[in-house]
Amino acid sequence: MRKFEINRGANAPLEFKGLKGQHLLYCAIFIIVDFLSILLLYVFGLPIVLWIIYSIVSMVGGIAYFIYRNKKYGSKGLIDLKMRGFTPKNISK
Q: Which residue type is seen at 45? A: G
Within-domain flag for 55: yes
Output the DSSP codes for 36-52.
HHHHHHHHTT--HHHHH
User: In this structure, are residues 93 and 77 in contact, taking their beta carbons and an 8 Å threshold?
Assistant: no
Given a contact cutoff of 8 angstroms between Cβ atoms, the answer to whether 93 and 37 are in contact is: no
What tens digit of pLDDT does each residue of 25-74 get?
Answer: 777 888 899 889 888 888 988 888 888 898 889 888 888 887 787 777 77
Structural domain including 41 reads: 17-65
pLDDT of residue 67: 79
User: What Å distances lie between residue 64 and 23, 39, 60, 88, 89, CA to CA?
Assistant: 11, 22, 6, 33, 33
pLDDT score of 15? 66
Q: Is residue 1 part of a domain?
A: no
In a domain, 60, yes or no: yes
Enter the pTM of the model: 0.61
| Predicted pLDDT at 59 | 85
As for how many domains the chain has, the answer is 1
